[in-house]
Structure 1
Amino acid sequence: MSNPRPSPEIKRRAKAGETEEHFEQLVTFFLGEGCFAFPLRVVLEIIRKPQTVRVPLAPPSLVGLANLRGAVLPIFDLRRILHLPQRDYDDATRVLVIQNQCQLGMVVDQVSRVLAVRNEEIEEVSQIDLTVDARFLRGVAKVGPRGDLVQVLDAGKLLEREYDTISMNKEDRIEELQASTRSPELSGPEIENETTTQLVTFCVAAEEYGLAVSEVEEVVRLPDRISDVPGAQREVLGLINLRGRLLPLVSLRRIYEFPDKELDDQSRAVVLRKTMPGGRIARLGLLVDHVREVLNVSENDMQPVPPLLLGVGKSGQIEAICRLEEGRRLISVIRGERFFQRKEVNQVLHEGAGDETTSEGNEEEKMSGNEVQLVIFQLGNEEFGIPVEYVQEIIRVPEKMSVVPRAPRFVEGLVNLRGAVLPVLDMRARFGLERLERNENQRIIVLNTSGTIAGFVVDSVIEVLRVPSGELEPSPALSDEQVKLVGQIVNLSQEDRMIQIVEAEKLLSDEELAVLRESQQDVLVST
């Protein structure tokens, strides 16, 4: 990182009695063979090209969003804006951080120097033959003994035609979001109007287990470091740092006496939470091999544990057996509260790990007011989040789906979800991304939006995350469609993560909802 410094020429002219009113300071750089410049007063700093997060439905010239010391920085490729031939980035590539109502970055091939030119040396654009659109220029300067041409760019004009929404300041975006925010209407059509239980299902040693969603606070990826707990029982793997809070991590494999398995990208910690006497909040992480789905299951599918197995080995931890797919799929439903009663867990909790003391009765108010719970999914390498209150369940992608006549291009088809017709859409296509071949990692997130239940195919669901509400901020407004669908962003700068928050209510227009409802009716009539 560097701040552009005044050139020696400026000091020389100052000694000669010239003031800043007589000359313009320019930061010069190259795009190919062409030399360009921005006025020094708008260039805040010069940095190497950072890692960026791709934004769906954004203008083609946007490289992505970067984290600049905790601030979200939109970065544009100046070659794309000027319609110049593209080239690969290399070690000389730099980003000029510019202040243009809001801060943004411009990628250039190579930075040259800071120079000073007399105001009268900057000629009118119309007097010179140029290689870029004259509307983007403030003027042209001839410098040096050979009269080298420097094209002085106007940062405002570069963006105003295609990206006029980006000039909206942060305060305006916050007011707009607050005005448009409304609670989800979860009174839409129910699936087969029966009592259901929502389960988070996961696998341990090829066996499938489930926990009631009400007992699960979040599901998180494992950090790089797990700290040992001296003197702890074998079942306790150690402590992990969860947003500044120490969380005990217990291995379900060891509790259930399965062989150990190396941790991998699929390993997850299912975080349980329990209010203890006196208002003390205890948290515990259960290490599982991988999380499978979030399901709504009928009470008719839940069967008691056979009497002969009650209290025997790991069966003693099981509350019920969930039978799905005509008995071909069995899920052992366990109760999270029982893990807090285990001796090895109590030993760690007694030492203060996983604790949070609050005023009794105020914890729910605190959690709902200060934190937001999100289902995090991936499209390509980028992470997106949907508020958990919109998510009805998360299921695997079936092998076959019914074709939807006259449907939008991002509609995949219809599936039978426990007797109800569920329209399924491709989130990639909705965001203008290339489709993927079907694979085992993909999931359907079933959402209840605007009273309509619909499923959206995503590349993978990676966790359920609680984040402080203060970490949410308005997304840079890069296009009308983008800001409508991705209105906020979570910038977890300490974790080097940026999560784009999907506006669930805006995923489908009124016209698209009407088409889907019509298609559902057509299928019901034909069956």
Structure 2
Amino acid sequence: MAQAAEPLLAFHARGVRYGIPAAQVRAVAPLPALTAVPLAPPALIGLANLRGEATPVIALSRLLDRPDGAPSRLLLIENGSRFALAIDTVEGVVGPDDAPECPPLETRLADIFPDRRTLGGRGPAATRAVEAVQDEDRLPLLRFMLGDQHFALPLDEVEQVLRVPEAVASLPRSDGVALGTLDYRGGLLPLLSLAALLALPRGETSGARILVAVIGQQRVGLLVDAVDRVIHAPVSRIDPVPAALLRGEAEAVVAGIYRPVAGERLVSVLAAGDLLSRDQIARLAPARPEAPAAPGARAETEALLLVRVGGHRLGFPLAAIDGVARVPDRITRLPGAPAFLAGLGRLRGESSPIVDLPVHLGEVARPVRGGAVLLCRIAGAPAGLKVDEVAGIVRAPAELLRDAGTLGTNRTRPFERVLALDGGERFALVLSADALFDQVEADLLQAFERTLAEPA
């Protein structure tokens, strides 16, 4: 007896009728908002939040080299891989007598996703420790400014860095320390002036930021004049505060003094737990209650630096970034340099190659001025990555990070993971700076480094 033919789900894309085994279709839905993926093949039009997972969305017309269209529906497919097809309309399940054309999905997908790994699950990159962690004798510090003085907090005491919102609810009869409250994660966040806590004058506010920290059981926002960068300070260069200086409350909250190398200014290292007295904590608005953690459990999070590149929101593991700097006033273009290499500029007193990250990710070239430069190492050599904007630092819970699978090009896979934002409505792609460049590009950067090192 002949085996019954497998029922097909019929659908349409650009006027052509297609079919796919109905058993492979897990959902039919309107086309949602998509997160674009830099360096992606044309058929991959973005990522969508489908059933709580970041899912690659493939435009069927582009996949089959047909005229492009404006799809309005998608099919969630699971056939060993998990992806969605962007199509025009769905007809319904049909039998063998009315079987439509079945598109060669396996063959075409293999061309753009050679290893066919699946998005939506936590891969090894999400569970392994960051490879670029600091040595045990180094302490990651977030350095910031109050007036013209440098201060720092241990990075693990800073939950997030926020821009100052326009709307802050002021508190009546405040003492100059309590500035007001703002909405944060569905609750109220008390906003305090760190300068007032330390009995320092307020500085310029154009670049002000809010450091979110937990003091005791209370989450608070600390207003600072500017956030500089993350430094990995050798513990041997952090000295205790001389006893003769411990005269008042402001000095008592300074846990140590960091002595940078190369004659940079001293940095006062604060301890968040010592910034407020018990009475001050009690007077603050109560934090939004959270479910208690299991005894001995510790939330697994990773610090990420979020940046904007063109229309893309991207993230870098904070441990892989040596710092953030202004774009140098002078950048020297090198003859014969690849388009993505903006040129050489002075970063921390040394000439280093500066990569125009928007150009490297396919954006239209534009003037290099403005934005910021991320200090990192590419193929072992120091370099700078120019971005349009640094959005801030977030501590990402492990459950919001997903393996990025095959996103990228056939030459390089710069995207390690995907971070869900706004309840999964948007995504930020987490990059590996070293993986941004294939071997040829890395060799070019190293060649320019050697050029700098050669005597004239």
Whether TM exceeds 0.5 here: the answer is: yes
Tell me the secondary structure at the aligned position of residue 32 of structure 2: coil
Tell me the secondary structure at the aligned position of residue 21 of structure 1: coil
Q: For residue 103 of structure 1, what is the amino acid of its counterpart?
A: R
* Aligned equivalents of 1:295, 1:72: Cα separation in 2: 33
* Aligned equivalents of 1:116, 1:23: Cα separation in 2: 10
Deviations 1:347-399 (A, max 9, x none): 34695679999999x89xx46xx111111111122221111111111001012
Deviations 1:218-244 (A, max 9, x none): 4433689978889976624226445x8
* Aligned equivalents of 2:357, 2:85: Cα separation in 1: 29
Q: CA deviation at 1:62?
A: 0.9
Q: For residue 502 of structure 1, what is the amino acid of its counterpart?
A: L
* Aligned equivalents of 2:201, 2:349: Cα separation in 1: 39
Q: Which residue of 2 aligns with 1:103?
A: 82
Deviations 1:271-311 (A, max 9, x none): 2455xxxxx565431235764655799xxxxxxxxxxxx99
Q: For residue 214 of structure 1, what is the amino acid of its counterpart?
A: P
Q: Which residue of 2 aligns with 1:46?
A: 28
Contact 1:54 1:63 in 2 (8 A): yes
Q: CA deviation at 1:439?
A: 4.5
* Aligned equivalents of 1:46, 1:95: Cα separation in 2: 6
Q: CA deviation at 1:154?
A: 4.5
Stretch of structure 1 that moved more, 220-229 or 397-406: 220-229
- Cα 1:495–1:101 shift into 2, 3 Å: closer
Q: Which residue of 1 aligns with 2:151?
A: 211
Q: CA deviation at 1:435?
A: 2.6
Alignment of 1:223-234 (within 5 A): none
Q: CA deviation at 1:173?
A: 8.2
* Aligned equivalents of 1:171, 1:181: Cα separation in 2: 20
Contact 2:61 2:68 in 1 (8 A): yes
Q: Which residue of 2 aligns with 1:271?
A: 212
Contact 2:204 2:225 in 1 (8 A): no
Deviations 1:111-138 (A, max 9, x none): 2521533x2554xxxxxxxxxxxxxxxx
- Cα 1:348–1:466 shift into 2, 3 Å: farther
Q: Which residue of 2 aligns with 1:183?
A: 131
- Cα 1:260–1:510 shift into 2, 3 Å: closer
Q: Tell me, yes or no, if structure 1 residue 58 matches structure 2 residue 8.
A: no
Q: Tell me, yes or no, if structure 1 residue 424 matches structure 2 residue 354.
A: yes
Alignment of 1:298-317 (within 5 A): none
* Aligned equivalents of 1:272, 1:371: Cα separation in 2: 15
Alignment of 1:38-437 (within 5 A): 38-88=20-70, 93-109=72-88, 111-117=89-95, 119-122=96-99, 140=100, 151-166=101-116, 168-169=117-118, 174-175=123-124, 177=125, 183-184=131-132, 200-201=143-144, 210-214=150-154, 217-221=158-162, 235-238=178-181, 240-242=183-185, 247-251=189-193, 268-273=209-214, 280=216, 283-288=219-224, 291=227, 335=270, 337=272, 340-341=275-276, 345-348=280-283, 366=298, 370-437=300-367
After TM superposition, the score normalised by the length of structure 1 is 0.66
Alignment of 1:472-483 (within 5 A): 472-481=401-410
Higher helix share: 1
Count the aligned residue pairs: 435
* Structure 1 segments unaligned to the other structure (5+ residues): 1-18, 123-139, 141-150, 188-194, 275-279, 298-309
- Cα 1:290–1:83 shift into 2, 3 Å: farther
Contact 1:24 1:39 in 2 (8 A): yes
Q: Which residue of 1 aligns with 2:10?
A: 27
Q: For residue 347 of structure 1, what is the amino acid of its counterpart?
A: A
- Cα 1:114–1:514 shift into 2, 3 Å: closer
Q: Tell me, yes or no, if structure 1 residue 506 matches structure 2 residue 442.
A: no
Q: Which residue of 2 aligns with 1:125?
A: none
Contact 1:185 1:449 in 2 (8 A): no
* Superposed CA RMSD: 4.9
Tell me the secondary structure at the aligned position of residue 164 of structure 1: coil
* Aligned equivalents of 1:503, 1:514: Cα separation in 2: 17
* Aligned equivalents of 1:421, 1:411: Cα separation in 2: 14
Q: For residue 385 of structure 1, what is the amino acid of its counterpart?
A: G
Contact 1:237 1:251 in 2 (8 A): no
Tell me the secondary structure at the aligned position of residue 79 of structure 1: helix
* Aligned equivalents of 1:522, 1:158: Cα separation in 2: 43
Contact 2:408 2:415 in 1 (8 A): no
Contact 1:211 1:336 in 2 (8 A): no
Q: Which residue of 2 aligns with 1:134?
A: none
* Aligned equivalents of 2:285, 2:127: Cα separation in 1: 46
* Structure 2 segments unaligned to the other structure (5+ residues): 234-245
Q: Which residue of 2 aligns with 1:145?
A: none
Q: For residue 161 of structure 1, what is the amino acid of its counterpart?
A: D
Q: For residue 318 of structure 2, what is the amino acid of its counterpart?
A: V
Q: CA deviation at 1:59?
A: 1.0
Contact 1:70 1:491 in 2 (8 A): no
Q: Which residue of 2 aligns with 1:135?
A: none
Contact 2:381 2:449 in 1 (8 A): no
| Highest RCO, 1 vs 2 (Cα 8 Å, sep ≥ 6) | 2
Contact 2:415 2:429 in 1 (8 A): yes
After TM superposition, the score normalised by the length of structure 2 is 0.75
Contact 1:271 1:283 in 2 (8 A): yes
- Cα 1:42–1:232 shift into 2, 3 Å: farther
* Aligned equivalents of 1:113, 1:86: Cα separation in 2: 20
Tell me the secondary structure at the aligned position of residue 67 of structure 2: coil
Q: CA deviation at 1:342?
A: 6.2
Q: For residue 432 of structure 2, what is the amino acid of its counterpart?
A: E
* Aligned equivalents of 1:74, 1:35: Cα separation in 2: 23
Q: CA deviation at 1:418?
A: 3.9
Tell me the secondary structure at the aligned position of residue 484 of structure 1: coil
- Cα 1:430–1:156 shift into 2, 3 Å: same
